[in-house]
Amino acid sequence: MKFTHFNEQNKPTMVDVSIKEPTLRIALAQAVVKLSKQAYLAVKEGTVKKGDVLAVASVAGIMGAKQTPHLIPMCHPLNLDQINIDFELNDEDNTIRVISTAKITAKTGVEMESLCACSIAALTIYDMCKSIDKSIEITDIYLLKKSGGKSGEFERKT
């Protein structure tokens, strides 16, 4: 098994995409934040009246997606066409599911941008709730779906 991210000297390298054609690429990813009941309710109610944790998390996720090539060493710099973040609040287990969508017309995919977006949004929720709850957990970070590019469609089996 050969990694694409190492060169002949076995040193890390950015993969050469110079001869590839740009195509539309979309990647959806997710992260889940597990909160205590108290912290979960503070976020849920806060979005209505006390201060909107999820708006801050959205901004952080969107800005974080734009930092992807400066965070993940072998990622190509890309000019994102869109990045959007949605939240699903689950009252039963006090979790917030962060779902990110990244779009681009480029020679290479946007999985990492989408994964960075939801990870950093989740870490931001963590940061803003940590004074209330020291046992927050971020979990289930993965790619949900991607399209475009040579490797074609991918959809995670649930």
- Residues touching a second copy, count (CB under 8 A): 91
Would residue 127 show up in a list of annotated catalytic residues for this protein? yes
Beta bridge pairs of residue 89: 96
Beta bridge pairs of residue 21: none
Residue of 52, 81, 127, 140 marked active site = 127
Instruction: Give the whole-angstrom CA distance, residue 94 versus residue 37.
Output: 6
Residue nearer to a second copy on the CB measure, 93 or 130: 130
In the region spanning residues 136 to 155, those forming contacts with a second copy, defined by CB under 8 A, are 136-143, 154
Residue nearer to a second copy on the CB measure, 92 or 135: 135
| 95 phi, psi to nearest 5 deg | -110, 150
Contacting residues for 65 by C-beta, under 8 A, at least 6 apart: 80, 83, 100, 102, 113, 114, 116, 117, 120
Determine which residue in the list 90, 91, 93, 130 makes contact with a second copy, applying CB under 8 A: 130
Distances 88 to 22, 68, 111, 112, 124 between C-alpha atoms, Å: 33, 24, 20, 21, 16
Asked if 135 is part of the footprint of a second copy (rule: CB under 8 A), the reply reads yes
Asked if 14 is part of the footprint of a second copy (rule: CB under 8 A), the reply reads yes
Determine which residue in the list 28, 62, 94, 149 makes contact with a second copy, applying CB under 8 A: 62
Asked if 11 is part of the footprint of a second copy (rule: CB under 8 A), the reply reads yes
Annotated binding site for substrate: 74-76, 112-113
Determine which residue in the list 28, 75, 94, 149 makes contact with a second copy, applying CB under 8 A: 75
Distances 100 to 28, 36, 72, 143, 145 between C-alpha atoms, Å: 6, 23, 17, 10, 11
In the region spanning residues 80 to 109, those forming contacts with a second copy, defined by CB under 8 A, are 80-87, 103-107
Determine which residue in the list 28, 35, 96, 129 makes contact with a second copy, applying CB under 8 A: 129
Question: What are the catalytic residues?
Answer: 127
